[in-house]
Amino acid sequence: MSAANRIRGSLTALVTPFSDGQLDEAALRRIIDWQISEGTQGLVPVGTTGESPTLGHREHKRVVELCVDAAHGRVPVIAGAGSNATSEAIGLTRHAKEAGADAVLLVAPYYNKPTQEGLYRHFAAIAEAVAIPIILYNIPGRSIVEISIETMARLAAIPGIIGVKDATGNLARASRDRGALPKEFIRLSGDDATALGFMAGGGLGCISVTSNVAPKLCAEFQAACLRGDFHAALSIQDRLMPLHDALFCEASPAPVKYAASLLGLCLADARLPIVPLSEPGRETVRAAMVHAGLLK
C-alpha cells in the first residue's frame, strides 16, 4: 500500500522525551510501541510538539531514525523537515528519506514572511530536490504567513505534494480547500479542538497533540468520523474537549509533557524557552485528564 493510502485517521505529533537535558531514547521507543498498541495510525516526530526549534540537527535526525526503527513499518512515519531556509529544509527532507520515513511534514517558512510566490517556490524546490511524499503544514498562528487556497492548489499539482495539515482552526477554510483541491489530496486537521468539524467537512484524519496521552480515544474518534458516525464522535469529543483546551493552557509542549509524565510515559522536562507548567496549569491538565477518564 502506498504512503498516501496509509496516511489517515489518528496520527500523533510526538513529544520528544528528555532526561537530564538529553534525548531519552528508551522512553521514545516505549512511547512509540504504546502509541501503536493503542491504535494510533501514524507517527509525526520532530514537529513543533516534538520541540524541533530547540533540537540540534544531529538530535533531530536521531529522533527520525529512532522513530522509523521503532515503528518498523507498522504505521507510517511522517517526519518533520520544515525550515524557513529552503536549503535546510531540503537537507532535512533528504535525511528523512534516507532514514526510511514514509513522508515529510513541511511547515510554511516562519519569521521571514515570504510572499505567496515565495511559498510556492520554497515547497516546489523541496519537491524537485527529494522524491518523497510531502504534507504541507499550514499554521499561520506560528509561521505568520498562511498558504492561500490559490497557492495550495498550485502546489497540489506538483508530483509528490500529497496533502496538507491544516492548523488554521478555520472550518470555512477547510471547506473552501475541499472545493479547490483535487479529490485525492489528503486533508488532515492539525487542531484537535476543531477536528470534529474538519472531519465532517471531508477530512481524512488529524495530526494530534492530544493523542500523545489519549491515543485510544483519539483513534476511536477518528474511526467514528471516517465511518460517518458523528453521534459517536461527538460523545468522544465531549470527553476530550477539556483536554484539547488544557494541553494549550500554557506554551506547548509543557502541558502535554506534564500530562505524559502523569501517565509514566516520560519526564515532564522541556527545553528553554519552554518552562515547566505552573501549578494552576498542572491542576487544569490533571482535571481534564480525569474528565477524559485517563486518571482517577
Span 137-147, average pLDDT: 95
Is 165 marked active-site?
Answer: yes
Query: DSSP string of 60-97?
Result: HHHHHHHHHHHHTTSS-BEEE---SSHHHHHHHHHHHH
Cα dihedral 67, 155, 223, 291, rounded to 10, equals 70
Span 101-113, average pLDDT: 97
Q: Residue 4: is its pLDDT beyond 80?
A: no
What's the pLDDT at 89?
98
**Helix axes of 116-129 and 86-99: crossing angle, nearest 10 degrees:** 30
Strands 18-19 and 205-208: unpaired
Q: pLDDT over 70 for what percent of the chain?
A: 99
The separation between CA 197 and the C-alpha centre of its own chain, rounded to angstroms, equals: 18
Nearest CA-CA partner of 98 in 79, 111, 83, 117: 79
Q: Residue 219: is its pLDDT beyond 90?
A: yes
Residues 249-286 pLDDT 10s: 999 999 999 999 999 999 999 999 999 999 999 999 99
> What distance in Å separates the CA atoms of residue 34 and residue 265, rounded to the nearest whole number?
9
What's the pLDDT at 1?
64
Q: How does residue 97 score in pLDDT terms, banded at 50, 70 and 90?
A: very high
Q: How does residue 104 score in pLDDT terms, banded at 50, 70 and 90?
A: very high
> Residue 51 carries which side chain, given as an amino acid letter?
E
Residue 137 makes CB contacts below 8 A (sequence gap 6+) with 47, 82, 105, 106, 107, 108, 164, 165, 167, 190
Fold of domain 3-238: TIM Barrel (3.20.20)
What's the pLDDT at 61?
98
- Give the chain's mean pLDDT: 97
Nearest CA-CA partner of 107 in 88, 127, 82, 135: 82
Is 137 marked active-site?
Answer: yes
Options 120, 165, 257, 258, the catalytic residue:
165
What's the pLDDT at 248?
98
Where is 238: in which H helix or E strand? helix 230-246
What's the pLDDT at 5?
83
Span 62-74, average pLDDT: 98
Span 36-58, average pLDDT: 97
Strands 161-166 and 134-138: parallel
Options 110, 120, 137, 258, the catalytic residue:
137
